[in-house]
Structure 1
Amino acid sequence: MFGRKGGLFADGKPTLAQCDPEFIDLFSRFAYDEVVHEPGANHPDLDDPTRSMAILATLIGSQGADAYGMLLPVALRSGVTPVQAKEIVYQAVAYLGFGRVLPFLNLTNDILVDQGVDLPLEGQSTTTTETRAAAGERAQIGIFGERMRGFAASGPEETRHINKWLADNCFGDYYTRGGLDVRRREMITLCFLAAQGGCEPQLTSHAAANMRVGNEKAFLIAVVSQCMPYIGYPRTLNAIRCINEAAAKAR
């Protein structure tokens, strides 16, 4: 999937390979060789496109725009489609907010245009303003179970609108879109949450949801392991703890 790349700068500026050759060699050997080929950090379901999607989601979650700009072209070469790349960015808005995602949307558009992709891409929405709430609830039930039936109208009155938005916006607007199946959508959600940190309750919940839709514990640990070079050890270990907690509760 990855080759050793040192060129982060253009327009006549020196590359990292020129300015920091020792670091580039160290990081490249670890992230693009040792991590990729480590047996304990791999899984049969973790092919190159899936690994690339997890890393892209992680870079958005950690606000790693420079690294994202370097690795999106690599991800496209590895088999990630333009539609899949866009869907990762779109879904990030629900978990990171528009303010943090807009730079990545602009960067994605720039890179796709540079690669000769015609924009806009074919639309992926499957709902309307009239159907999104019901479709979102169906998605929630399918992912989290029957306890989500009626969730949109539950909770204290002063915060009930958040539950409604989770159903019709987060799940009705995003999870029902084409381009990514539910297993990959839950995987990238786990990556968004692990990368930004401070979301451990939600991370544990979505680790459990991942397992419900078929992303087993070993797969999730492999995903987080592949993303470790981009988020560091503390957030990686926090994510693994949340995955272990979710697995223990599921027994």
Structure 2
Amino acid sequence: MKWLWGIIAVVAAVAVGVVIGFNCGGKSKMSDIKQTDPDIAAVLDNFIKNDVETRGNLSRDMRHYIVIGAHVATQSRDGLRAQINSALDDGIDPVAIKEVVYHAIPYVGLAKVYDSIVLTNEVFAERGIKLPLASQATVSSDTDARMTAGTQTQGAVIGGPDAVAARHAAALPDLAHIEDFLTQNCFGDYYSRNGLDFKTRELLTLVLLVSMGGADAQVRGHVAGNLNVGNGRDVMVDAVTQLVPYIGYPRTLNAISAINELTAN
């Protein structure tokens, strides 16, 4: 089986390398890929630049946020480095870049996102961006403050404060703390932050869940959440379209199924 894993590793390396070189209008970070793999380089260059990036009505900034989020969720370190540099070259605010990475923590998990934080700091240091950046926190560590902020933001996503209260009331006694964590931490600590607007954060949540895979129920939940905050079918389809080269067709089609299911009319 060693030969099979060797082939998989080579194919994966080539795919990642080419995608790194051709994204979001950025300059190639893998200058030799056109020489070593000209056929696939040409296919991907054409697909990303002429097919994917020309579709939809997302802003340049949002396209960068989406692709950065995809690389965080898939743990593509080299790709993430290239994407951050490309975003900075296009004038994207370092605060916004950091907030995209931070927003991944409650969904992708700190074990995976920690390296992305460190890598982002490395790129910022190389570019002369002074750290730490200005704080974007809007709540303290006080539990009540976090619960209040979280109830407001979670309610906007799932249908109002009564919907949040219903979730807490329905929780089994040994799982009540998980509902508390979800409201206080995910929605209180993260969604309440400045640096990205609320609708952008909810769209990024969908992007992160779709990109990492294995979260179909949560994808459906956040398709509904995006509709609740005003991100319509067109916005979600545009976002998923930008993900195609980076996450592949199976995860893309799963996301489209969820969008279709909830926007059939």
Same fold (TM over 0.5): yes
- Asked whether the 8 Å contact 1:152–1:167 carries over to 2, the reply is no
Query: Which of 131, 135, 139 is residue 119 of structure 1 equivalent to?
Result: 131
Query: Which of 234, 247, 254 is residue 231 of structure 1 equivalent to?
Result: 247
TM-score of the superposed pair, with normalisation by structure 2: 0.85
**Correspondence 1:161 to 2:177:** yes
Misfit runs of 4+, over 3 Å: 1-6, 150-154
Query: Which of 127, 135, 140 is residue 149 of structure 2 equivalent to?
Result: 135
Rounded to whole Å, the distance in 2 between the matches of 1:91 and 1:243 is 22
CA displacement 1:107-162 (0-9 Å, x = unmatched): 11111111111100000100012211111011111221131135345411111111
Matches within 5 A, 1:1-251: 2-3=24-25, 5-8=27-30, 15-37=32-54, 41-43=55-57, 46-130=58-142, 131-146=145-160, 147-149=163-165, 151-152=167-168, 154-248=170-264
TM-superposed CA distance for 1:214, in Å, is 1.1
CA displacement 1:158-187 (0-9 Å, x = unmatched): 111111100000000000000011110011
Question: Alpha carbons of 1:156 and 1:214: their partners in 2 closer, same or farther (altered >3 Å)?
Answer: same
TM-superposed CA distance for 1:68, in Å, is 1.2
Question: Alpha carbons of 1:7 and 1:16: their partners in 2 closer, same or farther (altered >3 Å)?
Answer: farther
Rounded to whole Å, the distance in 2 between the matches of 1:96 and 1:176 is 18
- Asked whether the 8 Å contact 1:6–1:17 carries over to 2, the reply is no
TM-superposed CA distance for 1:197, in Å, is 0.7
- Asked whether the 8 Å contact 1:154–1:163 carries over to 2, the reply is no
TM-superposed CA distance for 1:211, in Å, is 1.1
- Gaps of at least 5 residues in structure 1 are 9-13
TM-superposed CA distance for 1:24, in Å, is 1.9
SS in 2 for 1:127: coil
Rounded to whole Å, the distance in 2 between the matches of 1:126 and 1:221 is 31
Rounded to whole Å, the distance in 2 between the matches of 1:28 and 1:5 is 12
TM-superposed CA distance for 1:5, in Å, is 4.3
- Asked whether the 8 Å contact 1:6–1:15 carries over to 2, the reply is no
Which residue does 1:11 correspond to in 2?
none
TM-superposed CA distance for 1:7, in Å, is 2.8
TM-superposed CA distance for 1:76, in Å, is 2.1
**CA RMSD across the alignment:** 1.7
CA displacement 1:209-245 (0-9 Å, x = unmatched): 1111111101100110011100001100101111112
- Asked whether the 8 Å contact 1:4–1:32 carries over to 2, the reply is no
Rounded to whole Å, the distance in 2 between the matches of 1:166 and 1:15 is 45
TM-superposed CA distance for 1:199, in Å, is 0.4
AA at the equivalent of 1:175: Y
- Asked whether the 8 Å contact 2:27–2:86 carries over to 1, the reply is no
Rounded to whole Å, the distance in 2 between the matches of 1:162 and 1:239 is 26
TM-superposed CA distance for 1:78, in Å, is 2.7
Question: Alpha carbons of 1:151 and 1:79: their partners in 2 closer, same or farther (altered >3 Å)?
Answer: farther
AA at the equivalent of 1:2: C
TM-score of the superposed pair, with normalisation by structure 1: 0.90
- Gaps of at least 5 residues in structure 2 are 1-22
SS in 2 for 1:125: coil
AA at the equivalent of 1:217: R
